Structure 1
Amino acid sequence: MTKLTALLTGAVAEAMRAVGGHVGGVYLRSGTPGLLRLAVLAGLPGPLFRPWWRMHVDRPFPVADAYRDGVEIQLADATETMRRYPQLAAGLPFSFGSVYVPVVGASTVYGVLTVLCPADSEAASAPRDRDRLTETAQGLGAALLELEREADGPAVVWDGEPLCVPPPDDGAPGPSAPTDCAADLLPEGVFTLDRLGRINYVNPRGALLLGRPPAELLGESLWHAVPWLEQPAYEDHLRGALLSRVPVHFQVRRPRSPGDGAEAAERYGDRLSLSAYPGPEGLTFTAVPVGREADSAQATAPGDGQQPIGPLTAPAALDDLAAAPPDRANGAEALYPPVFLALALSEAVTARQVSAVVMQELLPAFGGRRLAIYLLQDRHLYLAWESGFPKGFLDPFDGVALDVRLPGVETLTSGRPLFFESMQQLAAAYPGIALDAEQGARAFLPLIASGRPVGSCILGFDRPRGFSPQERTVLTALAGLIAQALERAQRYDTEAALARGLQAALLPHRLPAHPLVETAGRYLPGTQGMDVGGDWYDVVEAGDGLALVIGDVQGHGVQAAATMGQLRSAVRAFALGGHSPEEVMSGTNRLLIDLDPGQFASCCYIRLDPLTGAARAARAGHPQPLLRHPDGRTEVLDLPGGVVLGVAPDAVYPVADLRLDPGAVLALYTDGLVERPGTDIDEGVERLRAALSRAATPTRRTGPSLGGTADLLIDEARRITDRPDDIALLLTTRRAPR
């Protein structure tokens, strides 16, 4: 054992003793910036907790917060964990408390020391023990600092897998075999695991049911010796037993492939009912077959009144589980909705989208049929979404104040979820409350994000039903995820409104009128994300000429709109100063680099002489303009250009000469008008060219006005409901002098 691992394992053991924890670990910074790695794990099998081996410091988890903010975090029980860290609770919905203490040496934060405790333990809240834990973390930080100085080399980091060690004072390898080998005579299979997941006892019946001789099982990791148990559904039950110290009962399906217990599966059926009983030194399992030759006594799990454990696992009978297809047995299918819900919520940007995700992902997982989401505003709850309730039934509850005694109000003000197995229970708890015709169960969930109330959520079920402890835990944790998404959606709505207002203020409200030149501009916001972006157009009267401008700032939202406003002002200033097109582009390029390094924009600038039609153009990474000649022939111009603005301070922007004859139409546009997902941009440019060619010449009486032509060109884009980018278009035509 190296000096580093000795320091880490010693500190973890001392931390576990300090607060009476049964699991401990330490995360260290890694060679990858912003990534923590689990260096030591004591008291748990490493493979079961592989998803938590790595932790990014910007994730909403207590380990990341303790490291990033340098503060100690204590979570007394599952309820507090659900309120403060719903993503952690959704992944580990079991009853335990936890403490997280940053490991600091001088001004360097090396990692986080963490201990898991029984949820009903008061050890973590005792000042003496908490001080001892803090002192342990401080001592480890000082030791790591000294180790770093002694090495006079690379910083102390951890880039490998965690070192899994037994808990402190664990002299035995795990739970001992029953005395007098009494378990050898039992008709049920019995085997035991230590807290690192190694099998250290198995009776003959257990070896037979697992499909391996005892010599191939003893001393081996459960997942190495019995690889068909390495499935998410089964592993989640084991995590629950190890973390919550509560027995679990579940079914597994044995494979029929050679060498994997096929003979046992053929003789006793391919399903086993497993029960895991946790103890201080590990787990004791019983196994009975659920198959053709299993008698009725063996076909059921030992009953102790406990509900099955596992995320979103409904309290189904074993017979129901046995009848399920292999990929759905043991609630395996139910393990994945939290992941899908989290992923779907990450893509939802409005309150309506969040509500739709909940309806699609959460309700089906629990068999719900009705949903109502209320959002808090000015100490009142307002209905934001409803589905499945009778028309008008929820109207009286819209806008209720927080002092009204209703379950949807009290779940938010108290921060506690409320579960009613039937409408009779609900009516008894809230006499006089209006009830709909359905007599099913109801769940009222508080929507609280980072300690801030957001609203409340109501789930409705068609029939009476119970809610297992695990279901209550997971539902409450998922409500936290929903609250975070809704809070994000509210910020989005605020920012989107600001961005739309900023965009409207920065775009020209009217274009300058000139006796020889007519212009028409159009702008369409995108329909995805923040809606508004950095596209703009402008026409500037500069001396005896006109400057025609179009540009596109990368990105969307307030930042893109603000940058667009700065660039538009800069271009106008350069144009009014009489600068050449090349000077306008070069000056704007340097300004953008000074204002916002890393931001870039495309632009096309054309200086037009209205009297002669002569024009000079400079391009910075922008799509080529289109020119429709008076005879209807339309071409894509081939103007030389430089790189986009904001990339190279010394970029050069060549200038090209062109002519706009009377009756011709010059079209400047941004790429949102010609880009389509899955198609080449050249195809979009060709479609736009053909559309401009078909448009009648604006000077003819039978043809549309220039504004009408602009409307025709963006008509197809306007009808697309899923428009990923915003669009700007500027058309210019010239009349012949009289």
Structure 2
Amino acid sequence: MAGRRSAAADARPGAADAAARDPLDALAELLSREVERLGAHVGALYLPLPGEPVMELAVLVGLPRDFARPWERVGFSAPVPSAEAVRTGRLVWVGGEEEMARRYPRVAVAVPYPFGMAAAPVATPAGSGAVMLLWPGTHSTRLSPEETRGLTGLADRLAGELARAARRAGAPLRAGEEPRVVSGRPGGTEPPEVLAALLHRLPEGLCALDTGGRLTFVSPTAAELLGEPVDRLLGELPWTVLPWLRDPVYEGRYRAAMLSRQPASFVALCPPDRWLAFDLHPDASGLSVRITRARVAHGDAPAVAVPPPAPIRAGALHHILHLATALTEATGVQDVVDLLAGQIVPAFGGQGLALLAAEDGRLRVVGHHGCPETTIERLHRSELSAPAPEARTATSGAPAFFACRQELEHAFPARTGLWEGMGAWAFLPLVAYGRAVGSCVLAFARPHRFDAEERTVLTSLGGLIAQALERAHLYDAKLELAHGLQESLLPHELPLTRGLAAAARYLPGTRGMDIGGDFYDLIRLGRDTVGAVIGDVQGHNVTAAALMGQVRTAVHAYATAGADPAEVLARTNRLLTDLDPGLFASCLYLHLDLRARRVLLASAGHTQPLLRAPDGRTRVLDVPGGLLLGIEPAVRYPLVRLPLAPGSLLVLYTDGLVERPGVDLDDAVATLADQVDRAGERPLEDLADLLVGHAEQSGRRDDDMAVLLLRPEPAADPPR
């Protein structure tokens, strides 16, 4: 029966042709048809690369390939709409420039034009891909229900086509070596003689550009205004054939018109003194351009200098801006390596990466990805004077590109066999602030010819990487210093005290230097008395950590001298105002008498502690607070006396444990009290982990946090 069904299917008209047809052509036709039906002007289909967290651009509709070069390969972790659609499994809509800048600043910097964008995941036999559509800048900031259904339906139809192609081929469909590019609908035939004569009589020049930006029609008047014959202009890019249009600003206006599908204009100086106005009118087939003489007053003339003969193209410039924006997100050295490996290297089609720093006459591998371990071992600590491309690039500051293994081995025979499994290489100098700091090796699995624009972008990338690495090294050094300082200032362990169980935790914030001014301490004052302090110094840097150490030392000194909590805070406050560090601190200090079963407390603007009674009920203690430490020298702090039965639990904490954006502080403290209530009589170490664990679940935190738990117990010898 199966054989008969197959024969019947083959007998259908066109079945054999459909089976033999390139499946990418079928996908391109489907995408092109749906782009027009949904009123969009650009469409793109991404297919996953098996075995790698990357998807590749398979089909592009409505734009030339140059527009999409920064995103021909997109990592699943990249902060772009198509990758987010894959990660979340949901449709992503961006309604315009402002929303793009807010949600995807990296994309907004590279393509700062008005358009709406939607991306939806596409299920494929190899994993998730994505389909993306762009609408003109005049589109509503909302996606209509019909458009939403149309896009999700398109994703389903693409998934069906991909599944059928995989069954026919016996393997998932992959993107081609280059994306399949479908230009817009035909723009019509050349004008007849009568229309040509009409155009010639007009005082303004008219031109037509295709979607790739090449001139397809130039009226005689336009050629006269531009100063070049028609036959020299046809088929050329205006910013290539006309030296005075080579400023990236002018190509940028063309890109703006094509992406937004809205008219654009600019004024340019045709040497020596002819100012021309260009009005660009786009549609799916390209651009119509009207050229007129511009009336520019002498004082209002735009300051446009004739650019150098070979400036960087706008496409390359946008690519560099995209890369620069990405690298600004990296803080430490490992962040730079991860960003390059996960997002930037895949965008160029590379498979291997090695970052080498020049130190003491040798190259040190500071990060790598996708390279054989034997290669990394030979590169690490290799001499800068060695006859090797990575060393030559680092010392000369000149990049080197090798399109195949034969080229590399011909230039550097000593490097034969070092890069097994790779077929092409780009060796980029890392030059930061005018000095060479190392080299970056980008390796490709297959031979790869580097064109002039790609060499320009990669060379610029080397400079961006160098600056990012320099900042990252400085950040890591400061972070190591800050961590060392903080670890030396916080107690390594709490002192064992007879009749008292105690536990403490500290967590730094997840922003900035990963260091803060929160502190705690437990001070043994006598056989049955202890002091406990918790505080929060303003700031999240080395200065805050240093001041935290001064406050903790002062509290310790005054407490061991026999002062009560109110006097301890008053003396510490006077010391801080004398030092005048420019920072303030909140602080809560208590004196616990285990034999008398009482506690004395004083607070300098600190969050209120919690008390869990032996019967299991938890309440917020009302401790009157004075001014923060370090504001006014003559401040008195109220002293509070409370009974404290064995089995009671005191919870001291800093505001980082409870504060959340948009949540009232009193509500947050009440939530913490409820957590302590529900925790029951569990060991204090477990309770401390539970409380900070709840805070960690909130994700990114601006503030650090500290918690100190104290529970009086029946007198017993402390454990040894």
Return the alpha-carbon distance in structure 1 between the equivalents of residues 500 and 284 of structure 2.
90
Q: Secondary structure at the match of 2:709?
A: strand
Asked if the contact 2:319/2:457 (under 8 Å) is kept, the reply is: no
Give the 5 Å matches for 1:636-675.
Answer: 636-675=620-659
Alignment pair present for 1:398 and 2:376: no
The corresponding residue for 1:205 is: 221
Q: Provide Cα deviations, 1:340-371, integer angstroms capped at 9, x if missing partner.
A: 43344333221111122334554455454442
Q: Provide the aligned length of Structure 1 versus Structure 2.
A: 476
Contact 1:248 1:308 in 2 (8 A): no
Counterpart Cα distance in 2 of 1:583 and 1:238: 79
Answer whether contact 1:373 1:458 (CA < 8 A) is retained: yes
Structural RMSD (CA): 4.9
Bigger shift: 659-668 or 371-380?
Answer: 371-380
Relative to structure 1, the CA distance from residue 533 to residue 278 in structure 2 (aligned partners, 3 Å threshold; closer, same or farther) is: same
Cα distance, 1:526 vs structure 2: 3.8
Change over 3 Å in CA distance of 1:692–1:359 after alignment to 2: same
Q: Please state how far the C-alpha of 1:410 moved relative to its aligned partner.
A: 1.3
Deviation at 1:583, TM superposition (A): 2.9
Q: Which residue of 2 aligns with 1:591?
A: 575
Amino acid in structure 1 at the alignment position of 2:362: H
Decide whether aligned partners of structure 1 residues 479 and 548 sit closer, same or farther in structure 2, where only a CA change above 3 A counts: same
Q: Does 1:425 align with 2:390?
A: no
Deviations 1:433-466 (A, max 9, x none): 2364666542211222223443211223455555
- Would the aligned equivalents of 2:239 and 2:245 in 1 still touch at CA under 8 Å? no
1:173-199: CA deviation from partner (whole Å, max 9, x where unpaired)? xxxxxxxxxxx89999599xxxxxxxx
Amino acid at match of 1:532: I
The one-character-per-residue Cα deviations of 1:270-323 (angstroms, maximum 9, x if unpaired) are: xx9x9x9986768999999999999xxxxxxxxxxx999665x5xxxxxxxxxx
Question: Quick one: distance in 2 between partners of 1:676 and 1:292?
Answer: 49
Report what 2:431 is aligned to. 448
Q: CA deviation at 1:391?
A: 6.2
For 1:376 and 1:362, how far apart are their aligned partners in 2?
A: 23
Inter-partner Cα distance in structure 1 for 2:522 and 2:330: 38
Aligned to 1:479: 462
> Secondary structure of 1:642's match?
coil
SS of 1:729 mapped into structure 2: strand
Contact 2:531–2:592 (8 Å) recurs in 1 = yes
Match of 1:493 in 2: 476
Is 2:535 the counterpart of 1:551? yes
In 1, are the aligned partners of 2:658 and 2:669 still within 8 Å (CA)?
A: yes
Against the structure 1 CA distance between its residues 405 and 662, is the aligned structure 2 distance closer, same or farther, given a 3 Å change threshold? same
**How far is 1:520 from its partner?**
2.4
Aligned in 2, Cα 1:234/1:512: closer, same or farther, shift over 3 Å? Answer: farther
TM-score (norm: length of structure 2): 0.56
Answering whether residue 435 of structure 2 is matched by residue 457 of structure 1, we say no
Q: CA deviation at 1:633?
A: 0.6
Distance 1:416 1:261, change over 3 A: closer
Evaluate the alpha carbon distance shift between residue 489 and residue 188 of structure 1 in structure 2; reply closer, same or farther with a 3 A threshold. Answer: same
Structure 1 residue 634, shift from structure 2 partner = 0.8
Q: Distance in 2 between matches of 1:290 and 1:187?
A: 22
Output one character per residue of 1:362-417: Cα deviation in whole Å (capped at 9) or x when no partner: 44554544422123344332323333445654442223121222111111111222
Change in CA separation of 1:457 and 1:307 when aligned onto 2, cut-off 3 Å:
farther
TM-score by length of 1: 0.55
- Aligned mates of 2:418, 2:219 — CA distance in 1: 56
Residues 135-179 of structure 1: CA deviation (Å, up to 9, x unaligned): xxxxxxxxxxxxxxxxxxxxxxxxxxxxxxxxxxxxxxxxxxxxx
> Which of residues 486, 504, 511 is equivalent to 1:503?
486
Give the AA of the match of 1:386. H
Q: Do residues 713 (structure 1) and 691 (structure 2) align?
A: yes
Letter matched to residue 590 of structure 2: I
Gaps of 5+ in 1: 1-89, 92-183, 192-201, 211-232, 263-271, 295-305, 314-329, 698-703
What is the percent sequence identity of the aligned residues? Answer: 45
From 597, 601, 610, the counterpart of 2:594: 610
Q: Could you say what secondary structure the match of 2:485 adopts?
A: helix
CA distance in 1, matches of 2:569, 2:320: 51
Gaps of 5+ in 2: 1-108, 111-199, 208-217, 227-237, 287-306
Aligned to 1:416: 398
1:520 correspondence with 2:503? yes
Cα deviation for residue 605 of structure 1 reads: 1.1
CA distance in 1, matches of 2:715, 2:279: 98
Q: Distance in 1 between matches of 2:352 and 2:392?
A: 20
Letter in 1 for 2:687: T
Distance 2:502 2:261 in 1: 78
Distance in 2 (CA, whole Å) between partners of 1:647 and 1:389 is 57
Do the aligned partners of 2:509 and 2:703 also contact (CA within 8 Å) in 1?
Answer: yes
Residue 627 (structure 1) aligned to one of 589, 606, 611: 611
- Do residues 727 (structure 1) and 712 (structure 2) align? no
CA contact (8 A) 1:627 1:667 kept: yes
The superposition leaves residues 450-500 of structure 1 with CA deviations (integer Å, 9 ceiling, x where unpaired) of: 234432112234555554555444433332232222122222222222222
Change (3 A) 1:483 1:680: farther
Letter in 2 for 1:586: A
Paired amino acid for 1:541: R
Residues of 2 paired with 1:642 and 1:563: CA distance? 20
Distance across 2 between alignment mates of 1:657 and 1:457: 65
- Structure 2: distance between partners of 1:476 and 1:651: 62
Relative to 1, partners in 2 of residues 1:203 and 1:501: Cα closer, same or farther, differing over 3 Å?
same
Distance 2:448 2:383 in 1: 30
Q: 1:570 is matched with which residue? A: 554
CA 1:535–1:292: 2 relative to 1, 3 Å: closer
- Partners of 1:498 and 1:442 in 2: how far apart? 38
In 2, distance between residues paired with 1:715 and 1:252?
49
Q: Is the 8 A contact 2:257 2:280 kept in 1?
A: no
1:416-436 per-residue CA deviation (whole Å, 9 max, x = no partner) reads 222234433222211242364
Preserved CA contact (<8 Å) 1:417 1:476: yes
Question: How do residues 21-170 of structure 1 correspond to structure 2 at under 5 angstroms?
Answer: none
Q: Would the aligned equivalents of 1:248 and 1:309 in 2 still touch at CA under 8 Å?
A: no
Does 2:330 match 1:348? yes
Query: Conserved in 1, the CA contact under 8 Å of 2:262 and 2:281?
Result: no
What is the one-letter code of the residue matched to 1:482? I
